[in-house]
Amino acid sequence: MTLSRFIQTAGVLATIAAINLPVTASAQETTPADALTVVLDAAEELEPLRTVTVSSDGEIIADRGYGGYTSTDPTNIKSASKVIVTTMVGIAIDKGLLDGPEQSVAELLADDLPSGPDPRMQDVTLSHLMSMQAGLEATSGANYGRWVASANWVSSALAQPFVAEPGGPMIYSTGSTHLLSAILTDVGGASSRQLARDWLGPIDDFAITGWHQDPQGIYLGGNELAMTPLSLLAFGEMIRNGGVTDDGERIVSEDWIEQSWQQRTTSRFGGHGYGYGWFLTELGGHDVSYAWGYGGQMLYIVPDLDLTVVMTSDPNSPSGGNGHRDRLHDLLADIIGIASAEQE
Burial of residue 291 (number of CB atoms within 10 Å: 0-12, 13-18, 19+): buried
Q: What is the residue-averaged pLDDT of the chain?
A: 91
Number of Cα atoms under 13 Å in the Cβ half of residue 106 = 14
115 phi/psi in degrees, rounded to 5: -70, 140
**Which amino acid, residue 306?**
D
- For residue range 196-234, list pLDDT tens digits in order: 999 999 999 999 999 999 999 999 999 999 999 999 999
| pLDDT at residue 155 tops 80 | yes
Measuring CA to CA, which residue among 283, 335, 337 is closest to residue 17?
337
Confidence of residue 30 (pLDDT cuts 50, 70, 90): low
Backbone angles phi, psi at 245, to 5 degrees: -80, 175
pLDDT score of 192 more than 60? yes
The contacts found for 147-154 with CB under 8 angstroms, 24 or more apart, are 147/174, 147/175, 148/214, 151/215, 152/112, 152/214, 152/215, 152/216, 153/178, 153/214, 153/215, 153/216, 153/218, 153/220, 154/109, 154/112, 154/178, 154/179, 154/182, 154/214, 154/216, 154/218
Buried b (16+ CB within 10 A) or exposed e, 45-80: ebebbbbbbbbbbeeebbbbbbeebebebebbbbbb
Query: Which residues lie below 8 Å from residue 16, measured CB to CB, with a gap of 6+?
Result: 22, 23, 27, 28, 30, 35
Specify the pLDDT at position 23.
39
Over residues 30-43, mean pLDDT: 87
Whether 9 has a pLDDT exceeding 50, the answer reads: no
Q: Percentage of the chain with pLDDT > 70? A: 90
DSSP per-residue codes, 278-296: -EEEEETTEEEEEEEETTT
pTM flag (> 0.85)? yes
- Flag whether pLDDT at 292 surpasses 70: yes
Contact 270, 76 (CB under 8 A): no
Task: Report residue 287's pLDDT band, with 50, 70 and 90 as the boundaries.
Answer: very high
Q: Quick check: 22 pLDDT over 80?
A: no
**Which letter, b or e, does each residue of 1-27 get, where b requires 16 or more Cβ atoms within 10 Å of its Cβ?**
ebbbebbeebebebbbebbebeeeeeb
> Which ranges in the chain belong to alpha helices (H)?
3-9, 13-18, 32-42, 82-94, 105-108, 126-130, 144-148, 153-158, 174-188, 192-200, 229-240, 254-260, 324-340
Please list the residues that pair with 125 across neighbouring strands: 104
Does the structure show a pLDDT above 90 at 336?
Answer: yes
